[in-house]
Chains A and B, each alone.
Chain A
Amino acid sequence: MRNNFQRLQEEELNDYPQPPARIKEDINHSQNMFQLVGNVIDLFIPKLFQMLASILGGGSKIDQTPENKPPRYPNMES
């Protein structure tokens, strides 16, 4: 059974106007912005780190075993 505080809330909910539609629109807009920023971060941050790593000399090791060593001169057969 509801008490007088809960009945008061019910009365107030009936008396007060509905929340303005612009609240939901603004929230949707912010939600879309967050998703966009999230997607941008997902797409570009790993690439940025890869680029930084290669600028600093990191990255995949080149196989320098004699069989895979590139020819000294382009026209020389290995």
Chain B
Amino acid sequence: MSDQNAGNLADEALVSLYLESQSSLYFDELYRRYAAKIYGKCISLLRNEAAAADATQDIFMKLLLNLSRFSGQSKFSTWVYSITYNFCIDVIRKQKKRQMQSSAPEDLPDEEVQEISDAELLEIKVNRLKMVLDEMNPNDKVILLMKYQDGMTIADIAEGMALTESAVKMRIKRSKHKCKAIYDKLFKTRSDEE
């Protein structure tokens, strides 16, 4: 099969063809589709180009070695992004352990977490959203990216993060609340002064 034909195939078809033939043509096509996205996500989470390059390489090696475990129950992109987020969170956790930092604020009790509507979150302007996400704890940021950027379902996120669906819902609620709190801190006071 030529490069052009591989380019027309769905991700899931490329995976099964790669597993059948072990031809690098199919894996190369998957690399072409996902390398920039994975690298972008790694830079956004790790904030360091060299670390992001290393992480991207390690993530692709993981994908290569675990392709046979892809069950096809969720979309291939969902599976790839779950691996990417989990890998980056692990890297950040290791870095923090090394730096002995524990600056994460205490979580509020569940009943004190105010429900923020999707509309409220989705109306934040892109440049402001970037600043808010940069301020967020990686675990909170990742869960919002999974839901709103990658369009994953609650079930997909639960599977990707090895959590129950109710735990995912609670985390999303908390993350939205934190996102709004950071937004208010960064921009509300400024606009009030104006």
When chains A and B are docked, how far (Å) is the Cα of A3 from the Cα of B150? 11
Query: A45 within 8 Å of B by Cβ?
Result: no
Mark the stretch among B8-16, B55-63, B101-109, B159-167 that contacts chain A: B55-63
Residues of chain B at interface, number, CB under 8 A: 31
- Taking a contact as CB atoms closer than 8 A, the residue among A5, A13, A30 that contacts B145 in the complex is A5
Instruction: Judge if A19 is at the interface, Cβ distance under 8 Å.
Output: yes
B39 an interface residue at 8 Å Cβ cutoff?
A: yes
Residues 15-55 of B at the A interface (beta carbon under 8 Å):
22, 24, 27, 31, 35-40, 43-44, 49, 53
A9 touches B40 (CB 8 A): yes
Verify A27–B124 contact, CB threshold 8 A. no
Contact yes or no, A3 B39, CB < 8 A: no
Given contacts A5-B129, A27-B57, contact A19 B36 (CB under 8 A): yes
- How many residues from A make CB contacts under 8 Å with B? 25
Q: How far is the CA of A19 from the CA of B38 in the complex (A)?
A: 9
Residues B60 and A23 in contact, CB atoms below 8 Å apart: yes
Q: Does A12 contact B (CB under 8 A)?
A: yes
Distance in angstroms between the alpha carbons of A28 and B35 in the assembled complex: 14
Give the distance in Å from the alpha carbon of A27 to the alpha carbon of B31 in the complex.
10
Q: Which residues of B contact A26 (CB under 8 A)?
A: 57
A8 sits at the interface (CB 8 A): yes
A21-69 interface (Cβ within 8 A of B): 22-24, 26-28, 30-31, 34-35
- B→A interface (CB under 8 Å): 22, 24, 27, 31, 35-40, 43-44, 49, 53, 56-57, 60-61, 64, 122-126, 129-130, 133, 144-145, 148-149
Which residue numbers of A lie inside 8 Å of B, CB to CB? 3-9, 11-13, 16-20, 22-24, 26-28, 30-31, 34-35
Q: 14 A-B pairs, CB-CB below 8 angstroms? A: A3-B122, A4-B124, A5-B122, A5-B149, A6-B149, A8-B129, A8-B133, A9-B40, A17-B49, A20-B53, A23-B53, A24-B31, A27-B57, A28-B24
Q: Apart from A6-B148, A13-B40, what are 6 other A-B pairs with CB-CB below 8 Å?
A: A5-B149, A7-B126, A12-B40, A12-B44, A13-B37, A27-B60
